[in-house]
Amino acid sequence: MKRQLPGPMPLDEFKDTIKGFEDYVGADWLRSQPHDASPLTQVWNRADYTASLELFTVADSYKQMAWRTDASWLAKYQEAIRTHNATDILSQTYELTSAAVFRYEPEVKLCPPSHPGYDFTLSALGKTIRVSCKKLGVSDGEKAFHKRAQEIYEQVRDSASKAGLPSFQMTLKLVDPNDKLKPSPVELQSGITRTLATYRDGQFINRPIGGWRMTVDPLCYGPAGLVVDRDYASHQFICITPFSQDEQGRFEDRFKNAAHMLKKHGGLIDKGNMNMVMIGLPLSVSFAKAREWLNKKFARDNSSVSAVMLTRFATASARDMSETNVYFEYTFIPNPSAQVKWEEFKPEGFMNRATVPIGNVIEVTEQATESLNMLNMDGKLKNLGDMYMFQRGQVYLPAAPKGEEMKLNFPEAQGIQYHRVVRIPGQGVIGITAITPPDNTMVLL
């Protein structure tokens, strides 16, 4: 498979790194597996740049950590992959990539599988940090939202096609989830269909449907000055709703479990030994909220944990949509109630940075933001607050002539399928379709 490069790097470096991980898992075995058998096979069988980013990050983390990792850990990870155990694949991948963030430290080592209390250790200058890793995956509530949003999108797409509507952008936002007149799914679909039927090119529509707010307006394509094709109708659909599940409760359960196991199995806490928890966040949970939740927990209990590091891999489109940037976002939160205070423990220069194989590292120190690939991206990371977001679309752009060549580059905003329409005098029209990630979420990371 010819994969898109996830960023500026030598092709040989990318191929060699992926091959090292492929050899570890088993090349023949990988090629024989169903595409959707597990998070790994889902990513493995995609060629887009986001999948390449995930594979390269995991493969490079394996390369950096394999030689200093217990053989039984590597054997268990391989077993999880080969048995399509999604839970273990995601949890061990998070352990692997989290330990690799500290590859610059002379002694970072993953613990044997099922090690009680913590997952890897960092040792330097006579001091040791025991680290417990917890991955907060996408909740059942968010999965249900995406499933429902996909169904609505398909209805919007099909209704627009049947009606022969001109290019448009639709945003559907649930502004009042407690509205007593909240429409049923059938009533919502009917309201969307009726509203779309009234749309004409250039007309802005802003209409409530029960507790939902629906807007439809012409698709004026972003800050890059791009114009959609005149003959082929484009559309973009965005759906936004408040959280439908107790994300705070899920987060606090992960932290509480990690703190409990560290207290029970972590061992001595003193000026040379301390405990830390790393928690991987999904896009839907902001760093600001997680920090707020943690500070409340710190104020009451969990003194065995000296600090928490929140992390996330995310992507965002550049201002002109010409490329997608990769971010490793993290924030470090000391526990003011800890038995050993972080600032008292940490030697100067020890564990004060993060390293990733590709992308930009952002330390989130104040109000956190969400990295979302929305088409109105202005170059800054957006914060939706406590909201789920879904984006899909089909966009047709004309290939503008430039001298004797055609500009065939594609913008990048995940969830949007791009097509370039090429008109060749005397020969007709051809279409070129970009390889596009399904959405802006990570599957493995």
Q: How far apart are CA 215 and CA 169, in angstroms?
A: 8
pLDDT at residue 400, as a whole number:
62
pLDDT at residue 335, as a whole number:
92
Residue 262's Cβ-count burial label (10 Å; 0-12, 13-18, 19+) is buried
pLDDT at residue 200, as a whole number:
79
Question: What residue ranges do the domains of the chain occupy?
Answer: 1-100, 140-244+386-433
Is a pLDDT exceeding 70 seen at residue 332? yes
The 3-state DSSP class for residue 125 equals coil
Q: Which of the four pLDDT bands, split at 50, 70 and 90, describes residue 324?
A: low
Residues in CB range of 10: below 8 A, 6 or more apart: none
Is a pLDDT exceeding 80 seen at residue 260? yes
Residue 34's Cβ-count burial label (10 Å; 0-12, 13-18, 19+) is exposed
Is a pLDDT exceeding 60 seen at residue 242? yes
Q: What is the mean pLDDT of residues 67-96?
A: 94
pLDDT at residue 370, as a whole number:
41
pLDDT at residue 93, as a whole number:
96
| Highest mean pLDDT: which range of 69-83, 191-205, 243-257, 400-414 | 69-83
Q: pTM score, two decimals?
A: 0.84
pLDDT at residue 321, as a whole number:
52
Q: What is the mean pLDDT of residues 156-166?
A: 91
Residue 289 or 436, more confident: 289
Q: Which of the four pLDDT bands, split at 50, 70 and 90, describes residue 379?
A: very low
Percent of the chain past pLDDT 90, that is, above it, reads 38
Q: Mean of the per-residue pLDDT values for the chain?
A: 83
Q: What is the mean pLDDT of residues 356-377?
A: 59
